[in-house]
Amino acid sequence: MRINALLFLFLINYFGFSQSKEFIIIDTTSKKPINLVQVFYPDLEIGSVSNEDGKIRIPLRENKIIVSHINYIEKEFSFNDFKTKDTLFITPKQNQLEEVVLYNIDLKQKFLHIFKESYFKKYSKRKVIHNSTYKETFSVNDSLTRLFQIQLDWYSKNSLFSRDTDIDKQNIINIESIDYSKKKEIKEDFTNSNGGYVENKSFFKFLHLNFLLETLIHLTNDYEIETIKKDENSISVYFNATLTENGKEMFKHKNSLIVFDKDYASIKSLKLNMIYSKGFENAKSRIKKIPYKKKTESHVVELSFKKLKNNKYSIAYFTSEVKGFFKTKDYTDNISSKQSLFINESKLGKKLKKGNIKFHNPFYESIPNDLKKNEIKILLTEKEKEFLKG
């Protein structure tokens, strides 16, 4: 009986901590759900991110947990406190931040200091496999036409981007399983569910902070500080600027955000709001070669980091959303293409020998036929569930 009792207790413990927990994260002020909240076990390097409905699923592990967001006060929970909650409330930073007006801050110099002096000290440069969820949506006139979500392993040799080396030589992607995939064909118009996407080779550049820093240092000028806010752990800088390439203006930053640590020695997260002023350009559809005009209105990227066990920063998630228009003689369609990568677990010192995804093809054209479904790690919103049912 003693052996059976011990076995029973062991099984309770094993199955209890093999489970996942679903809950919702709410703004304490507005009482509204919050998108892109990180919930992370810092000692285990395991975590997840909330969806637009504020809902999240995370494995149960008997460790402390950190809840953070680019616009909210970071919060720590003990496991015993966390496991009993169905709803977590977090507080906006503006409720506690002290606004500081400093017109003489040299933002480009701050970027340069991080890039040259502290980048290798603050950010992990080891080989790593990121077990990740990749999600992609494409909308026409605010209506979903493509939804694609997969589980993948992303290998990065040193988390650095080199302009002199092909992107597929620096990174390897291997799809493990598929969560959801649906395309809604739009037969009456030119625009269809495959009408737009950001190529993998461009998407994965933005996942590397050094690529963004080089762009902010060498191609971006006319920095204008909107607001600087501080708390005890971070400094949030809102700014405007202009990016110019080969003497030509490409876009303007409008109220973009960089969150530094308290010493300006590292960047904890950023959100770049890039607004384009170019008119329509001539183009042809990729497959049927149908002529049309296209216009990019905006591109918003958000990159956030977490701390690993070695106390260095590593990517937590990245989102990219491009908005614009497709136009023919008879109609104009408003389009939105959104791609996201959420890091569920980071395995330091690991190497992925080969992948099954080509960087020069769209993800939705690269799904192997024999993929199986595993546990869903990033939950769907109610709107996305309705799209899958329809």
Are 183 and 146 in contact by the 8 Å Cβ rule? The answer is yes
Report the candidate in 227, 300, 313 with the shortest Cα–Cα distance to residue 267.
313
pLDDT above 90 for 257: yes
7 has pLDDT over 70: no
Q: What is the pLDDT of residue 2?
A: 46
Q: What is the dihedral of CA 49, 254, 144, 363, to 10 degrees?
A: -70
CA angle 279–280–281, rounded 5-degree value: 120
In a shared domain, residues 45 and 141? no
pLDDT at 364 over 90: no
* 50 shares its domain with 162: no
Same domain, 64 and 128: no
Q: Dihedral, CA atoms, 133, 139, 142, 143, nearest 10 degrees?
A: -90
Statement: residue 188 has pLDDT above 50: no
Assign 171 a pLDDT band (cuts: 50, 70, 90): confident
Nearest to 51 by CA among 386, 379, 302: 379
Average pLDDT value for residue range 92-106: 65
Query: Does the pLDDT value for residue 186 go beyond 70?
Result: no
Predicted local confidence at residue 291, as pLDDT: 80
Q: Is residue 48 a contact partner of residue 342, using CB atoms and an 8 Å limit? A: yes
Residues 71 and 207 in one domain: no
Which pTM was predicted?
0.86
More confident of the two residues 327 and 186: 327
pLDDT band at 270 (very low <50, low <70, confident <90, very high): very high
Q: Let me know whether 127 and 273 are in one domain.
A: yes
Kindly state the tokens that stand for 307: 């701390």
Mean local confidence (pLDDT), 42-50: 85
Same domain, 119 and 86: no
Are residues 227 and 84 both part of a single domain? no
Report whether pLDDT(190) > 70: no
pLDDT given at position 187: 55
CA-to-CA distance for 11 and 22, rounded, in angstroms? 22
- Residue 311: how many CB atoms within 10 A of its CB? 9
Least confident segment among 148-152, 195-199, 270-274: 195-199
Q: Say yes or no: 78 and 111 in one domain.
A: no
Judgement on whether residues 140 and 182 belong to the same structural domain of the protein: yes
What pLDDT score does 99 carry? Answer: 57
> The domain that contains 41 carries what CATH number?
2.60.40.1120
Domain boundary among 50, 77, 95: 95
Mark which of 45, 80, 95 sits at the end of a domain: 95
H or E segment to which residue 339 belongs = strand 332-348
pLDDT at position 40: 87
Name every residue whose Cβ is closer than 8 Å to that of residue 308 and which is 6 or more positions away in sequence: 45, 124, 314, 346, 348
Residue 14 in this model has a pLDDT that exceeds 60: no
198, pLDDT greater than 80: no
Q: Provide the pLDDT confidence category of residue 350 given band limits of 50, 70 and 90.
A: confident
Q: For a pLDDT cut of 90, what percent of the chain falls above it? A: 36
| CA quadruple 258, 263, 267, 269: dihedral sign | negative
**Same domain for 219 and 138?**
yes
Confidence label for 194 from pLDDT (cuts 50, 70 and 90): low
Which of the pair, 280 or 259, is modelled with greater confidence? 259
pLDDT at 100: 59
Question: Which stretches does DSSP call E strand in 70-127?
Answer: 72-77, 87-90, 98-100
Looking at the structure, tell me whether residues 161 and 230 fall in a common domain.
yes
User: What does 276-315 look like in DSSP terms, one character per residue?
Assistant: -----EEEE-TTT--EEEEEEEEEEEEEEEEE-TTS-EEE
**Residue 259 clears pLDDT 90, i.e. is over it:** yes
More confident residue, 93 or 298: 298
What is the reported pLDDT for 326?
84
Residue 253 identity:
H
* Cα 369-372-377 angle, rounded to 5 deg: 125
CA atoms within 13 A on the CB side of 298: 15
Q: Which range is least confidently modeled, 59-73, 272-286, 360-374?
A: 360-374
> Which residues span the domain enclosing 61?
2-95
pLDDT, mean of residues 342-359: 82
Summarize pLDDT for 311-329 with one digit per residue, the tens: 889 999 999 999 998 887 7
Domain co-membership, 73 together with 146: no
pLDDT at residue 101 is higher than 80: no
- Count the domains in the chain: 2
d(CA 207, CA 115): 16
Q: What is the pLDDT of residues 57-92, one digit of tens each?
A: 888 888 888 999 998 888 888 888 888 888 999 998
Q: Closest Cα partner for 195 from 152, 135, 144?
A: 144
Classify residue 377 by its DSSP letter.
Answer: -
Domain boundary (70, 95, 120) is at 95
